[in-house]
Amino acid sequence: MKILLKDGTVVSGSGTSVQDILIEDEKIVRTGVIEEAEVHPDEIRDMSGKYLFPGFIDAHTHMDLEVSGTVTADDFRTGARAALAGGTTVVIDFATQNKGETLKEALANWQKKAAKGCSCDYGFHMAVSDWNDTVKAEIPEMIKKGITTFKLYMTYPAMRLNDGELYEAIRAFWEHGCFAGVHCENADLIDAKIREAKKEGRFGPENHPKVRPDTLEAEAVHRLMVIARLAEAPVMVVHTSSAKALEEIRKARRSGQTVLSETCPQYLLLDESVYEKKDFEAAKYVCSPPMRARENQDVLWKAIADGEIDILSTDHCSFTMEQKRMGESDFTKIPNGMPGVENRGELIFHYGVLQGRISPEIMCRVLSERPAKLYGLYPQKGALFVGSDADIVVMDPKRKKTITAADHHYNMDYSPYEGFELDGSIEEVYLRGALSVKDGKVISENQGRYLHRNLPKLRG
């Protein structure tokens, strides 16, 4: 099957130009000016006026994850279907080791979860909750199985490592050419702030941001920088939410360290005022780190535009309102996390590109190219080159859309972006050459394949 996409505005991390793309089966086989008579396509689609992006990669999702005595509302079936609808053709989910488990067991568990059905291609990072010699010895086997990046937590009792363990793990990963993404918040001080709130009789969701201020994120980032310097290893700060945390990353970089960084749409588009919502509505936004003061948003947008933030992921970790109500009388029992996997591309296109905060090239870099390089998928993914997988997002800058949970593909009863009005939206998505999303609807489900990832490429 040959499909010719004519006259699209093709975007890469370094430029944008009007081109034709010829897809043959799963791959891109030609780009440039392509005469129909030369290639005899089965189908020709007019792409004039549309941006063609390489399929977006969401390198931070939590599907089918047990948290606080419940399981995320989205499993791979619903979560990846939503991802695909939003132009995400690859998710890299966090396979998560329970304490006492081997990494092999955790990986087998996640392979089983994804095998129930996944509508986009997928890979895994391995979240290590129990650092020990057995786990250390399993790193080469993980790499053989395509797991080349890891995740570590400085908070959450079930997953947290202490500073010494963080040091050993980060050093051991880098000995094999791998790095870890780290959740940075000071757990002990958060616990103290929680005790304080409870003593004062403060149990509502509005207290969530109060016990997790940006200073505690920045302190943990600073500590991580010290640990990584000692380990002589690169490290990624995941879901950077504040200017203070970013400043710690900058300082470490200025001193010569390799530090990678990620942020998420919620920290660019929502602010701490969401926690003032009444009737338990604030619980919708309970995630960690929490939303910050509005002035952080401009700092993060500018950092994206200036290339200081490497990637933009969602941290999709969805819980329905019924699940959130587990914490109705105690905000610390509200499962942490928010949905977002379906909206990222369109939100960033509207608020970033169409509103002039970032160029299409930067959008391509943070959503496609850079995650593909960092996570060992480039140029199979993250680029529209001859030989790349034909994962293509057709973005129409004139196709208006209003976000509403009622139209979503995921298993959720609310959207944090309900009512957001977008000037542009996705018209089509191709997954390995197959038209899989048309006019906002997923028309081909469960075609996702496991991606065996190579070692990270940190530069370029």
Smallest gap, in angstroms, from Cβ of residue 160 to Zn ion? 11
Q: Which amino acid is at 243?
A: A
Q: Which amino acid is at 431?
A: L
Asked if 373 is part of the footprint of ligand URP (rule: CB under 6 A), the reply reads: no
What's the length of the chain? Answer: 460
Asked if 183 is part of the footprint of ligand URP (rule: CB under 6 A), the reply reads: yes
Q: What is the per-residue binding string for ligand URP in 284-313, x denoting contact by CB under 6 A?
A: ---xx-------------------------
Q: How far is CA 413 from CA 205, 287, 407, in A?
A: 19, 17, 10
Which residues 6+ apart lie within 8 Å of 198 measured at CB? 330
Distance (Å, whole) CA 81 – CA 18: 30
- Binding footprint of ligand URP, residue count (CB under 6 A): 8
Q: Which is nearer to ligand URP, 239 or 350 (CB)?
A: 239
Smallest gap, in angstroms, from Cβ of residue 36 to Zn ion? 46
Q: What is the per-residue binding string for ligand URP in 389-428, x denoting contact by CB under 6 A?
A: ----------------------------------------
Q: Which is nearer to ligand URP, 9 or 314 (CB)?
A: 314
88-113 in b/e form (b: 16+ CB < 10 A) is: bbbbbbbbbbeeebbbeebbeebeeb
Smallest gap, in angstroms, from Cβ of residue 124 to Zn ion? 13
Distance (Å, whole) CA 31 – CA 282: 48
Distance (Å, whole) CA 358 – CA 336: 30
Q: Which amino acid is at 252?
A: A
Smallest gap, in angstroms, from Cβ of residue 174 to ligand URP? 22
Distance (Å, whole) CA 379 – CA 388: 6
Q: Which of 13, 181, 213, 337 binds ligand URP (CB under 6 A)?
A: 337
Residue 198 tokens read as 């409870």
Q: Which of 178, 228, 317, 422 binds ligand URP (CB under 6 A)?
A: 317
Q: Which residue has the tokens 């132009």?
A: 87
Distance (Å, whole) CA 349 – CA 403: 14
Residue 407 tokens read as 């139209």
Binds 337: which of Zn ion, ligand URP, none (CB < 5-8 Å by kind) = ligand URP
Asked if 217 is part of the footprint of Zn ion (rule: CB under 5 A), the reply reads: no
Asked if 350 is part of the footprint of ligand URP (rule: CB under 6 A), the reply reads: no
Give the HSE-up count for residue 314: Cα atoms under 13 Å, Cβ half-sphere: 34
Q: Which is nearer to Zn ion, 31 or 411 (CB)?
A: 411
Asked if 106 is part of the footprint of ligand URP (rule: CB under 6 A), the reply reads: no
Q: What is the per-residue binding string for ligand URP in 239-278, x denoting contact by CB under 6 A?
A: ----------------------------------------
Q: Which is nearer to ligand URP, 206 or 391 (CB)?
A: 206
Binds 34: which of ligand URP, Zn ion, none (CB < 5-8 Å by kind) = none
φ and ψ at residue 77, rounded to 5 degrees:
-60, -55
Residue 375 tokens read as 């996570």
Smallest gap, in angstroms, from Cβ of residue 107 to Zn ion? 18
Q: Which is nearer to Zn ion, 315 or 346 (CB)?
A: 315
Smallest gap, in angstroms, from Cβ of residue 187 to Zn ion? 12
Q: Which of 6, 45, 50, 62 binds ligand URP (CB under 6 A)?
A: 62
Smallest gap, in angstroms, from Cβ of residue 338 to ligand URP? 7
Asked if 58 is part of the footprint of Zn ion (rule: CB under 5 A), the reply reads: no
Asked if 75 is part of the footprint of Zn ion (rule: CB under 5 A), the reply reads: no
Asked if 315 is part of the footprint of ligand URP (rule: CB under 6 A), the reply reads: yes
Strand pairing class (2-11; 43-46): parallel
Q: Which is nearer to Zn ion, 67 or 372 (CB)?
A: 67
Q: Which of 74, 315, 369, 427 binds Zn ion (CB under 5 A)?
A: 315
Q: Which is nearer to Zn ion, 315 or 342 (CB)?
A: 315
Residue 318 tokens read as 């969805």
Distance (Å, whole) CA 453 – CA 126: 12
φ and ψ at residue 256, rounded to 5 degrees:
100, 0
Q: Which is nearer to ligand URP, 19 or 336 (CB)?
A: 336
Asked if 64 is part of the footprint of ligand URP (rule: CB under 6 A), the reply reads: no
Which residues 6+ apart lie within 8 Å of 337 measured at CB? 62, 67, 72, 287, 315, 316, 317, 318, 319
The answer to whether 373 touches 460, Cβ cutoff 8 Å, is yes
Q: Which is nearer to ligand URP, 78 or 288 (CB)?
A: 288
Binds 363: which of Zn ion, ligand URP, none (CB < 5-8 Å by kind) = none
Residue 82's closest CA among 405, 408, 426? 408
For residue 66, the 8-state DSSP code is E
- Binding footprint of Zn ion, residue count (CB under 5 A): 2
**Chain Cα centroid distance, residue 108:** 22
The answer to whether 310 touches 13, Cβ cutoff 8 Å, is no
Give the interface with ligand URP as residue ranges (CB under 6 A).
Answer: 62, 183, 287-288, 315, 317, 336-337
Give the interface with Zn ion as residue ranges (CB under 5 A).
Answer: 183, 315
